[in-house]
Every structure is written in C-alpha cells, then in structure tokens.
Amino acid sequence: MLNGSLVDVGAVPPLADVGAGVPIPTRAQHKWPGLDGLDKASILAGMAAPKRSFPPYNTNTIHRTQVFERKVFLFLDKVQEVRRPDYTPSEQDILRCRVMTTGIFETKFEVDKVRFHMFDVGGQRDERRKWIQCFNDVTAIIFVCASSSYNMVLWEDTTQNRLKESLTLFKGIWNNRWLKTISVILFLNKQDLLAEKILAGRHKLEDYFPEFANYQTPQDVQFDSGEDEGVVRAKYFIRGEFLRISTAAGDGRHHCYPHFTCAVDTENIRRVFNDCRDIIQRIHLRQYELL
C-alpha cells in the first residue's frame, strides 16, 4: 500500500466522495442567526439595482469590490430555499462556499489502496511562515493558483496583482534550497471564471500582462469540443508563465505537473485527482530508483 504526503498550498475543495457519509445538519438541527430577517434579502435578490451595486468584477479592474463574486448572487437568488426549516445544502452549495484557510489543516484518506496524508495551508502572506513545519518529508506540493485572478489584488496589499503574486510565490517555492527534490503539482484553478472574463472582454489579459499580446498558443495544444480559441490562448499563457519558472531553474531533481481545474466541477476534479495519484506513484518509484 502506497502512502503519499502532500502539502496543499492554497485551498481547493476535495472530491465530493472524500468524507462521504458525514451527516450535514439541516437548518432545523441548527440555530442559524439572522434567517428570520431574510424577507428583505429576498426582495433585494429580485431587484437589478443590488446586482449593479456589487458587480462581480469592478469596472476599475482591481478593487476591493472584487469580493462580491457571483457566489454571493447564487445564494441571494435562492434565499427562499435557504430559509426553509428543512434546507440541506446541496453538493454545489457546499462547493461554492469559501472559507479562507488560516492555520494548518491535516487530512488523511485512502483512494484505491493509496493512502494520502494532506496538509492544507493558507496562501496569505501572514500564513506562509507556518509552512516550513509541513515541508519535512513530503512527497509533493500541490500549488493552487486562481487563474481568473489576473485582474485582482491581494486582500493584504491592494497594490499587488494576485496572479503576479502567485508567480512570485511559486518561484520562491521552486527555487527554495530545501525543496529542490520536491515536485509540484500545479492546479490552475477557476478555469470557468477565467473563461467568463476572457469572453466578456471587459478586462483584457494583456492590460495586466503585456507580453500576452504577442503570445501564440502552442501548436500541439488539443482543443476541447466547443472551446473558445481566445480562452485556450489565455489559459495556456498562464500555464506557460509557471512552466517558464520551473524550466529555467530546474535541474531534473523535481518536476512541475500542471493541471487545468475547476473546483466546482466534481468530474474535472475527480479526473485530476486520479492523475495526481498516478504522479505520486511515479514520484515514489523515482525516489526508490525503481523508475
């Protein structure tokens, strides 16, 4: 039986069937504060004005109003359902809830006789000093990047672009002398939101990354059915920015394995997770010189 230890840098919801069987309390079993006052919220949900007041992506591109993403409106639109005494969150309700990771969360689970031991750590700047205690004897690092964040800023520093911060952080991890033998599984997450932004055309990727203007999609790229050429070009550009870091400083002792992910798409995450399992197996074989 194989054991894989992982450090998850960032936060991505696990597979839907990981932890299955854990009962989710209904509203009747919980005292949820403030639900009795939701009549006003239900009225607001039916009005266009509030949605104009809190746009998912601010017209000034990078601003603190970015917090009002579409998940807010998803729950406003179903407020009557949420306020019912017998309401139980659906799988999508759970996946679309976001809780910022602070501290270190340890999870152990088993899939197809492969044991996983995962540490989830927060990506915020003040959380990074806690990482070092998790990096001892790990098999791989899962680095989660929000691909759609190219026009957004950090909570803790409104002058710093989020995607550029992710690239800087990735470079620091990749070049860290203590991690020279630890491979990185790269999750380029929020592909659905990236596609929405590119197709909407309100925030052009080249406005934040000027080099994108001259970028050409690799000729060997396989398009999915119905996939927009502009979206494919954008996601492979972001992928290329990370791979440029890993190839520039790579010495063959560790590898970068990129994946395009959408955390609310359970089938996508299931396929990616199976790939990660195979990657971890190969890493183990390589460590013991069997591959």
Please report, in range form, the residues annotated as the binding site for GTP.
95-101, 120-124, 189-192, 263
Ramachandran angles phi, psi of 200, nearest 5°: -70, -35
Q: Which residues are annotated as a binding site for Mg(2+)?
A: 101
Residue among 100, 73, 103 at smallest CA distance from 155? 100
* Partners of 221 in beta bridges: none
Q: Which residues are annotated as a binding site?
A: 95-101, 120-124, 189-192, 263
Task: Locate all alpha helices (DSSP H) within the chain, ordered by sequence.
Answer: 38-45, 48-53, 70-77, 79-82, 91-95, 162-174, 191-200, 229-248, 266-287
DSSP H/E element including 29? none
Q: What is the DSSP secondary-structure string of 87-151?
A: ----HHHHHT------SEEEEEEEETTEEEEEEEE--SGGGGGGGGGG-TT-SEEEEEEEGGGGG
